[in-house]
Amino acid sequence: MGGGTTTTVPANETSILQKLIAIRDRLTALKQDRTTYLKSSDISTLYEQVIEEVRKINHIREDPSLHDEQNRVDVVLDDVFQLLSLSFLTVGLTRTAPATYASLSTVQRLLEHLNESRIYSYNELSPIEERLGEIRGIIDRDEATESPEITQLVRAKAAVCDAELKELKDSLSTLSPELSPILQQLVSIRRQIVAAGSKPKLNLNELKKLQEELREIENKRVDGNFLSANGDIPQGQNLLNTMLEECHNDLNDFSARQELVGPSLRPLYDQLTEMKNQLENMMITRRWTLRETDLYNYQQKLQTIDDMRVKGSFLDENGNIPEGQAVLLYLLRRCYALIYKLLVSSEPVSEALMPVQNQLSTVRKCLMEVKRMGGLSSARELYPYQMKLASIDNLRVDGKFMIGSAIPEGQGQLNALLAECFDLCHELRVELDDQDE
């Protein structure tokens, strides 16, 4: 929430604060309980309670003098919403307004960091713009059925992201389209420089190679300008020259440095590196291990580290700016980007049905591979697949995959996947019969 948040809570909001803390504790307990799957019914009960508290806050703050009120209630409400949003994703309700909140929080941080680092081109902005458009579509579609309090809250978050995005796009609007590929190249080089400089062991050859790439780009200039095909001087020279200069500054900093980060920043470096490694592992194993609510702890830790900065820099105990700022900011941004990717790739299937989803995806992949390799050589090759599909089909009760008496989210997706696998088996069988004839 905003920088002007006060810790004192007015008397008429203390009961709301206590209620929100209780809800946050309950959500945290559900998130940590690995003995059972998260259920939609548990989440919707808590969700209704949150809506009730938001109504009370809105009622209290109707007074114009309180419109900008920000206190601990808002901080806890933000926490609750992050957790709720991730819980919605975990139970497979990915395309609902509340589920978009966690994505929007991460997008907001990502855009703030892009603005600060100036390492971006249209290539970085267009997927974010697309995602924000998608989220707006979800909010519009849910408006009729969702409580106005929630719609308003999520819309406000989306509006902040839109404003940040517009600012970034405006700064690129001075760049002529024909210089866009050069900017993209420079953004990529600068990113590689910072990534190379963030490794525990510096590889000078890697930096040298990037330095040569930079020289090649510089050599394309005539009298300090990048020219168009017909020899004109297109708009946006300043932007490219600034980016070139920043690439050289980073290169010089990393090549000349004595240590990766100053001793006072070492604990933060270790913490961020470990988080980055864990999130990268999740990207690989997410289908089997990721419970979206696990991302909450990462979001909280990153936010805490991010908020330690003073005027954009991490300071030591004497208020000085130690070495290694670029390295820490790179790690921080990388973690935000990984969380964003994990949120975007969340499947609209409840975690209770993920094991079935994974089995069906594997069978489908194997059948596609058999088809690609020229089909079956005998009918016996189909038996293992047919038996596996029959056993999955037998899990259904009246066409639904049940967990106890509950019908988890993702029925449509699993039924479509099952039907596709049966179709593939049938196609392979027909092809084999045709060959035999």
Q: Which residues pair with 369 in a beta bridge?
A: none
**Nearest-CA neighbor of 425 among 396, 393, 383, 377?**
383
Cα–Cα distance measured from residue 254 to residue 249, given in angstroms and rounded to the nearest whole number: 9
pLDDT band (50, 70, 90) for residue 2 = very low
**Nearest-CA neighbor of 282 among 294, 273, 299?**
294
* Residue 296: per-residue pLDDT: 95
Cα–Cα distance measured from residue 102 to residue 89, given in angstroms and rounded to the nearest whole number: 9
Checking if the pLDDT of 280 tops 70, the result is yes
Q: Where is pLDDT greater, at 5 or 94?
A: 94
Q: Name the one residue in this structure whose structure tokens are 């307004």.
A: 97
The residue-averaged pLDDT of 16-24 equals 97
* Residue 52: per-residue pLDDT: 96
Return the percentage of the chain with pLDDT > 90, whole number. 76
**Nearest-CA neighbor of 31 among 261, 239, 413, 294?**
294
Model confidence pLDDT, tens digit, residues 364-395: 999 999 999 988 889 899 999 999 999 999 99
pLDDT band (50, 70, 90) for residue 436 = confident
* Residue 340: per-residue pLDDT: 94
Model confidence pLDDT, tens digit, residues 226-242: 998 888 999 999 999 99
Please, what sign has the CA dihedral across residues 366, 369, 375, 376? Answer: negative
Q: Please state the pTM of the whole predicted model.
A: 0.83
3-state secondary structure of 290: coil
Checking if the pLDDT of 1 tops 60, the result is no
Checking if the pLDDT of 3 tops 50, the result is no
Q: Average model confidence (pLDDT) for the chain?
A: 91
Q: Name the one residue in this structure whose structure tokens are 């050859």.
A: 205
Model confidence pLDDT, tens digit, residues 130-185: 999 999 999 999 999 999 999 999 999 999 999 999 999 999 998 999 999 999 99
Model confidence pLDDT, tens digit, residues 311-367: 999 999 999 999 888 889 999 999 999 999 999 888 889 999 999 999 999 999 999
pLDDT band (50, 70, 90) for residue 4 = low
Checking if the pLDDT of 260 tops 60, the result is yes
pLDDT band (50, 70, 90) for residue 258 = low
Q: Quote the longest CA-to-CA distance of the chain.
A: 85
